[in-house]
Chains A and B, each alone.
Chain A
Amino acid sequence: MPAVISVPAIANEAELRVFVSALSGVDQVGVESRVAKLGTRSLKTSTKRRAIDLAISMVDLTTLEGADTPGRVTSLCTKARRPDPGDPQVPAVAAVCVYPDLVAHARRVLEGSDVAVGAVANAIPSGRASLNVKLLDVADAVAAGAHEIDMVIDRGAYLSGRWGQVFDEIVAVRAACGEAHLKVILETGELVTYDNVKRASWIAMLAGADFIKTSTGKVGVNATLPVALVMLEAARDFAEQTGRLVGVKVAGGIRTTKDALKYLVVVNETAGSAWLSPEYFRFGASSLLNDLLMQRLKQRTGAYVRPDEFSGD
């Protein structure tokens, strides 16, 4: 493990390689047992209520289907602004996340709200297109008014050791984003090892990512708690060395309140309370929101809630 290394400005691939290679390894057994232990934390009463509201405010309500239509996006945006029409205390979600061609529509529907519009660009989910095409995709989404851009790294380049290419591409997309926030998806299910997750997290942060994100939601393995732990540790260490806080987004497969609270515990006890806000931690999910609403209502009434209590959007 390196002693405290101040983060260099990365001038070329060789420097990047030296820096990233010097990061200490990650022991799989240790990471997984740490997460298992954190998973036994018990959130009760007011903590649980606060945590549920916090989780709701961290949701990026997402629809990424070939069959998406303006109508579908409208109902999603309506839900995003007022997740529970029966209770104005319920916070709005952080953002809606759509394909670039639906960004303009989402912006119109969300006019006047604080809900951000995110777009997945960069030839998501495969990321297999030329850089020019990817940059056009990003520019398109930004021009349409996206506040946040999700890109996915080139896993082929990463896995074959072309880290400089991964880095350069993120730098280029970052530039194309302009004012928009950039979330860099590592697609950790395809990176497989925690060592890779850690290195890719650092490459993305060094290249200017505002957020590092686990998954597109389109491959077999999506967000997992140990992966989130490794990414949060990387974000914590990066902030410590640079003063810049990079957010972490977990996406795919998080469906229950119980799962979401486990992530919040990991955030709390790894990166710390600075990350416990929608500014620095997000859940990319769709069905999670309704479960959070159901558990929220249950906390208030004491009775278990039927799923149809909330809209299916």
Chain B
Amino acid sequence: MTDDALTSDLGALAYDPAPESSSIARLRESYGLFIDGDFSAPESHEQFATLNPATEEVLATVAQAGARDVDRAVASARRAYDRTWSKTSGAERAKYLFRIARLIQERSRELAVVETLDNGKPIRESRDVDVPLAAAYFFYYAGWADKLDYAGFGANPAPVGVAGQIIPWNFPLLMAAWKLAPALAAGNTCVLKPAETTPLTALVLAEILQQAGLPEGVVNIVTGDGATGEALVAHEGVDKIAFTGSTEVGRLIQERLAATPTRLTLELGGKGANIVFEDAPIDEVIEGIIDGIFFNQGHVCCAGSRLLVQESVADEVLRRLLRRVDQLRVGDPLDKNTDVGAINSAAQLARITELADAGEREGAVRYTGACALPDRGYWFAPTVFADVAQSHRIAREEIFGPVLSVLTFRTPEEAVAKANNSNYGLACGVWSEKGSRTLWVAQRLRAGVIWANTYNKFDPTSPFGGVRESGFGREGGRHGLEAYLNV
């Protein structure tokens, strides 16, 4: 029998386009800064455009916050902390957060469409992952607001004060939820700085905060570029900085705050190893590898970007993996049948392209998925590199794109050694039907999160965060409260 008959060409069932309507987004032409409970123009009146990466069309313009705007936002947060939020009981804070969770659920479809338009991720993911999880984080931390005494940090743990929170572009709404929900539950007020290329869902969230009746100034949202983030980090009125983003920027922030009393948590890059043993459930392994690296176009700090396969099954795994990669549907992120969407920005596309080219130059074997790519927008076809060596750049540097490097190992010890041979330590996967070995490996992996027989799973009850240069501090679960409590 020929290979053709076995690859799914979707022949008789080639799916017609099934696009979600972009009008659901109800976008405004321009957005101001959300300070003191209302939208206002930045002092400079400077606006910048946010694009749909799938079409390169302008979606809206948003305000560029300068240092004076950040100052205004921090002052607003301080006022709200002193006058309102610190005097609001845990039970009342809880009810605000429950309201926010419910409003996110109510406006879920709108949020999903906005997220997909602004970020380029498939609507299936924004609809089934980002938005429901964002609501879940608010729901979960709502319950903590009046139970802080039970969180294991002693009686009456106090909040930190004003938290400055800088979030990345890969999960814009979800990262806003990860930051705001625990901070508010613990009794802090916030100044949130969304990523430059993906500000829109945070601004819809601002409307939701208004609908929830959250007191003015408890959450302030300042849009802008790196300079806005710098101003926030440098601001003396901020008691705590929480940053999610690249290790490069994280390092600068830590240095900047080193001699200040400002508290810091960092959630940075990663080079996750997805370790496959010969006894693993093969069909689910393939799906797990796919989810590990192609979820959200690989724009995931904890992506399983290094596949470590036991040599005895390496050929079989690679063969099945490549067959599966060819089935991925790349294209219009608003199409409900799209598996892999657009790369978030031209700059990111350039970085992915540069690293992938380096992989080829260094001698790895490149395999690129068979899908056709749209003419406009930023796209990168799902790519797998075989015969990758530990020393290759594509095995060491975070690509943050749909590019997988495949390496092999012979024994559990070697798997652990290779997985740990990285400056990063965010997440790893272990695939085996043998529980004792999975636990043996998990105990030895230097990573903040280890998934066994699954990958890229998130839950508000589960702490997430890295070791070494992947950052410090945890988000999620009881542990996630610590970053926002003065304990």
Asked whether B282 lies within 8 Å of A1 as measured between CB atoms, the reply is: yes
Q: Any chain B CB within 8 A of the CB of A18?
A: no
Asked whether A40 lies within 8 Å of B128 as measured between CB atoms, the reply is: yes
**Cβ distance B483 to chain A, nearest Cβ, rounded Å:** 30
Q: Any chain B CB within 8 A of the CB of A3?
A: yes
Q: Which residues of A contact B8 (CB under 8 A)?
A: 268-273
Asked whether B453 lies within 8 Å of A3 as measured between CB atoms, the reply is: no
**Cβ distance A312 to chain B, nearest Cβ, rounded Å:** 30
Interchain CB contact (< 8 A) of A268 among B13, B18, B128, B313? B13
Contacting residues of chain A (25-63) with chain B, CB-CB under 8 angstroms: 25-27, 29-31, 33-34, 37, 40-48, 50-51, 54
Q: Which residues of A contact B155 (CB under 8 A)?
A: none
Closest to B18 in A: A42
A1-B282, A25-B433 known; A44 vs B18 contact (CB < 8 Å): yes
Separation of A43 and B336 alpha carbons in the complex (Å):
9
Contacting residues of chain A (224-248) with chain B, CB-CB under 8 angstroms: 233, 236, 239-240, 243, 245
**Cβ distance A15 to chain B, nearest Cβ, rounded Å:** 21
Q: Any chain B CB within 8 A of the CB of A103?
A: no
Interchain CB contact (< 8 A) of A265 among B1, B13, B312? B13
Asked whether B281 lies within 8 Å of A26 as measured between CB atoms, the reply is: yes
A26-B283, A27-B284, A42-B337 known; A3 vs B12 contact (CB < 8 Å): no
A27-B284, A276-B13 known; A41 vs B337 contact (CB < 8 Å): yes
Q: Which residues of B contact A44 (CB under 8 A)?
A: 15-18
Asked whether A272 lies within 8 Å of B316 as measured between CB atoms, the reply is: no
Closest to A41 in B: B337
Asked whether B313 lies within 8 Å of A47 as measured between CB atoms, the reply is: no
Asked whether B7 lies within 8 Å of A272 as measured between CB atoms, the reply is: yes
Interface centre among B5, B11, B279, B313 (most CB of A within 10 A): B5
Q: Which residues of A contact B453 (CB under 8 A)?
A: 27, 29-30
Separation of A271 and B288 alpha carbons in the complex (Å):
18
Q: Which residues of B contact A276 (CB under 8 A)?
A: 11-13
Separation of A239 and B4 alpha carbons in the complex (Å):
12
Asked whether B315 lies within 8 Å of A3 as measured between CB atoms, the reply is: yes
Closest to A194 in B: B281
Closest to B20 in A: A42
Separation of A48 and B12 alpha carbons in the complex (Å):
11
Asked whether B282 lies within 8 Å of A274 as measured between CB atoms, the reply is: no
Separation of A46 and B327 alpha carbons in the complex (Å):
21
A1-B316, A44-B17, A47-B16 known; A31 vs B284 contact (CB < 8 Å): yes
Q: Which residues of B contact A277 (CB under 8 A)?
A: 12
Asked whether B281 lies within 8 Å of A25 as measured between CB atoms, the reply is: yes
Q: Any chain B CB within 8 A of the CB of A7?
A: no
Q: Which residues of A contact B288 (CB under 8 A)?
A: 30
Asked whether A240 lies within 8 Å of B1 as measured between CB atoms, the reply is: yes
Q: Any chain A CB within 8 A of the CB of B280?
A: yes
Asked whether B16 lies within 8 Å of A274 as measured between CB atoms, the reply is: no
Q: Which residues of B contact A42 (CB under 8 A)?
A: 15, 18, 336-337
Asked whether B12 lies within 8 Å of A4 as measured between CB atoms, the reply is: no
Asked whether B14 lies within 8 Å of A47 as measured between CB atoms, the reply is: yes
**Cβ distance A270 to chain B, nearest Cβ, rounded Å:** 8
Separation of A229 and B14 alpha carbons in the complex (Å):
19
Asked whether B16 lies within 8 Å of A45 as measured between CB atoms, the reply is: yes
Q: Any chain A CB within 8 A of the CB of B6?
A: yes
Asked whether A51 lies within 8 Å of B9 as measured between CB atoms, the reply is: no
Asked whether B316 lies within 8 Å of A4 as measured between CB atoms, the reply is: yes
Q: Which residues of A contact B397 (CB under 8 A)?
A: none
Q: Which residues of B contact A270 (CB under 8 A)?
A: 8
In the A-B complex, the 7 residue pairs with the smallest Cβ-Cβ separation, listed nearest first, are A30-B284, A42-B18, A273-B11, A272-B8, A1-B282, A42-B336, A27-B284
Q: Can you add 18 more A-B contacts, CB < 8 Å, to A34-B284, A41-B15, A45-B16?
A: A1-B316, A24-B281, A24-B283, A25-B281, A26-B283, A26-B284, A29-B284, A41-B336, A43-B13, A43-B15, A43-B16, A44-B16, A239-B5, A240-B6, A243-B1, A268-B12, A272-B6, A272-B9
A residues near B, CB below 8 A?
Answer: 1-4, 24-27, 29-31, 33-34, 37, 40-48, 50-51, 54, 233, 236, 239-240, 243, 245, 264-265, 268-274, 276-277
Q: List 17 interface pairs A-B (beta carbons < 8 Å), by A numbering.
A: A1-B278, A1-B285, A1-B313, A2-B316, A29-B284, A34-B284, A40-B128, A42-B18, A43-B13, A43-B15, A54-B12, A233-B283, A239-B6, A268-B13, A269-B8, A272-B8, A273-B11
